[in-house]
């Protein structure tokens, strides 16, 4: 076994293309973490079906999500990047965890409360209710030590810790209790048309969303039309100049330069120049990623082979933990014949 700490995170295959906020807020972070950790990254398709889905689109988005992660630098030989449903142990352990989760405790999950309130009772399924126990299974199957997630997922990781401790005290030491690692908010990217709102795949209008896989000309137009202010100074000031500050954040991360050096370079030159510079930097980063994605999607057999290989690696770890949990609760083992 690797001596590096074990890390686990997941992303939903919920769009054809990632947006630049996913790239900066999640992907770049994961890319760095895979150097120092034994990292598992799953594309959580079983979570994706807890809300209504189009089957053909889900299949396609699962492939595309995998391709984008690989193209952007998740190395499938250093990290274990796989599709959740390819490893049956996730659904199996989730069932066991459901049996030690209180109804009241699951009802208190704020994501469930928000989503079910938005959808209404009729559209809200038992699957959506059990979303957090499936996520707990993801994490616990791999003896995970660290779970890097956004603030919105903190409560789910805390539930995971509670379930691990409860199981261990009822049935004996079985699971590693994971730590949450909250991804800093400094890398939060805002909508180009509405810099008060977080950029999101599910934004009502896409005019302010930069997609990793968009044509460069489309991205250029969106950046050139980004909302700024009447002041004219290229200065980072999140309060009073949210639009310009957002452009500076994106520029700084993508070009690996300090905001200060950008302020110096563009001092007295106006927003048009800043935007043109940003267009170039984004095209320079996303161009090669788009090409690599096209290559990966153009050879589906190779992508499938890669995912199958990684799923096998994941299953060999997960199956051992599942067997421990099954034995712990008293399920009679099926002996081989
Ligand atoms: P989502 O697309 O909301 O499922 O998010 C997937 C990952 O991308 C999560 O780790 C988010 O924290 C991150 N993310 C999504 N949107 C942004 C954004 N606008 N700025 C920074 N990170 C983001
Ligand atoms: N629920 C997470 C999200 O929406 C995705 C996820 C599923 C996850 N399983 C996980 C994240 C396990 C970390 C660990 O962002």
Ligand nearest to the CA of 195: 1
Helices 259-266 and 242-255: crossing angle in degrees, nearest 10, is 110
Question: How many residues belong to the chain?
Answer: 337
For the CA atoms of 68, 71, 77, 78, the dihedral, rounded to the nearest 10 degrees, stands at -90
Res 37: pLDDT: 98
Q: Which contiguous run of DSSP H or E holds residue 9?
A: strand 6-11
Active site residue 115: yes
* Residue with CA nearest ligand 1 atom 5: 22
* Residue with CA nearest ligand 1 atom 6: 22
| Distance from the alpha carbon of residue 21 to the mean position of ligand 2, in angstroms | 16
Which one of 112, 156, 157, 182 would you pick to mutate in the ligand 2 pocket, going by the greatest count of ligand atoms within 8 A of its CB? 156
Active-site position among 201, 222, 241, 276: 201
CA distance 100 to 159: 11
Ligand nearest to the CA of 181: 2
Res 311: pLDDT: 98
| Distance from the alpha carbon of residue 103 to the mean position of ligand 2, in angstroms | 21
Its pTM stands at 0.92
Active site residue 113: no
CA distance 139 to 311: 15
Per-residue pLDDT of the chain (337 residues; tens, 9 = 90+): 568 999 999 999 988 999 999 999 889 999 999 999 999 999 999 999 999 999 999 999 999 999 999 999 999 999 999 999 999 999 999 999 999 999 999 999 999 999 999 999 888 999 999 999 999 999 999 999 999 998 889 999 999 999 999 999 999 999 999 999 987 656 789 999 999 999 998 888 999 999 999 999 999 999 999 999 999 899 999 999 999 999 999 999 999 999 999 999 999 999 999 999 999 999 999 999 999 999 999 999 999 999 999 999 999 999 999 999 999 999 999 888 7
Ligand nearest to the CA of 128: 2
Active site residue 201: yes
Which DSSP string do the residues of 112-179 spell out, in sequence order?
A: HHHHHHHH-GGG--HHHHTHHHHHHHHHHTTT-SEEEE-GGGHHHHHHHHHHHHHHHHHH-S----PE
Res 1: pLDDT: 55
| Distance from the alpha carbon of residue 150 to the mean position of ligand 1, in angstroms | 7
């Amino acid at each position: 076994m690797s001596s590096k700490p074990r890390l686990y995170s997941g992303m939903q295959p919920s769009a054809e293309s990632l947006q630049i906020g996913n790239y900066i807020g999640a992907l770049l972070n994961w890319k760095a973490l895979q150097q120092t950790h034994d990292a598992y990254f799953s594309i959580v398709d079983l979570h994706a079906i807890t809300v209504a889905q189009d089957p053909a689109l889900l299949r396609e988005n699962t492939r595309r999500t995998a391709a984008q992660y690989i193209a952007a630098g998740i190395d499938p030989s250093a990290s274990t990047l796989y599709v959740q449903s390819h490893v049956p142990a996730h659904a199996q352990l989730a069932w066991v965890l459901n049996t030690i989760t209180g109804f009241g405790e699951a009802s208190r999950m704020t994501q469930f409360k928000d989503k079910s309130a938005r959808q209404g009772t009729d559209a809200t399924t038992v699957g959506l209710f059990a979303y957090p126990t499936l996520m707990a299974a993801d994490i616990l199957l791999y003896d995970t030590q660290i779970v890097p997630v956004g603030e919105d997922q903190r409560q789910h990781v805390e539930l995971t810790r509670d379930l691990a401790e409860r199981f261990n005290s009822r049935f004996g030491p079985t699971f590693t209790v994971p730590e949450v690692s909250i991804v800093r908010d400094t890398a939060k990217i805002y909508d180009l048309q509405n810099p008060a709102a977080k950029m999101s795949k599910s934004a009502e209008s896409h005019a302010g969303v930069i997609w990793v896989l968009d044509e460069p000309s489309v991205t250029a137009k969106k950046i050139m039309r980004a909302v700024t202010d009447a002041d004219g100074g290229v200065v980072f000031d999140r309060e009073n100049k949210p639009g310009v500050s957002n452009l500076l954040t994106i520029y700084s991360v993508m070009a690996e330069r300090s905001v200060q050096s950008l302020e110096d370079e563009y001092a007295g030159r106006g927003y048009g120049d800043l935007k043109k510079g940003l267009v170039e930097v984004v095209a320079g980063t996303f161009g090669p990623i788009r090409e690599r994605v096209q290559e990966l999607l153009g050879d589906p057999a190779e992508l499938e082979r890669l995912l199958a290989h990684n799923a096998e690696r994941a299953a060999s770890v997960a199956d051992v933990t599942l067997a421990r949990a099954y034995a712990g609760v008293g399920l009679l083992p099926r002996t081989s014949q």
